[in-house]
């Protein structure tokens, strides 16, 4: 299983090296762990996995809103991003 620190590096690298816009990248202490979380989007949809949720923010109009990047806690694979209005499939990015 990867550590929270490794999950943060994966999240940082994904966001910095993609066209996904972000305003704030949170520290490692804001990373949450979920045991057997149901995967709601992407190729693993419907399965249950141990995941880390890496939080970051985007500017939406005049508001800064929180989003969460789900990362497989065993493989380190980024799974999808949850937004206030749905999901962003990482493979589509």
31 is in which domain, residue-wise?
A: 4-92
CATH of residue 31: 3.10.450
d(CA 72, CA 56): 17
Closest CA to 81 of 40, 28, 23: 40
Q: What is the percentage of the chain residues whose pLDDT exceeds 90?
A: 60
* Mean pLDDT over each residue of the chain, to the nearest integer: 91
pLDDT higher than 70, residue 91? no
| Structural domains counted in the chain | 1
Given a cut of 70, is residue 35 above it in pLDDT? yes
For 2-18, what is the mean pLDDT?
94
Range 6-22 average pLDDT:
92
């Amino acid at each position: 299983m990867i550590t929270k620190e490794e999950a943060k590096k994966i999240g940082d690298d994904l966001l910095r090296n993609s066209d996904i816009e972000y305003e704030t990248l949170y520290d490692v202490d804001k990373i949450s762990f979920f045991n057997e979380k149901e995967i709601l989007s992407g190729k693993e949809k419907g399965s249950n996995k141990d995941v880390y949720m890496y939080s970051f923010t985007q500017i939406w109009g005049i508001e800064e809103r929180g989003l969460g990047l789900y990362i497989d806690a065993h493989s380190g694979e980024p799974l999808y991003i949850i937004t206030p209005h749905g999901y962003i499939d990482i493979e589509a990015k």
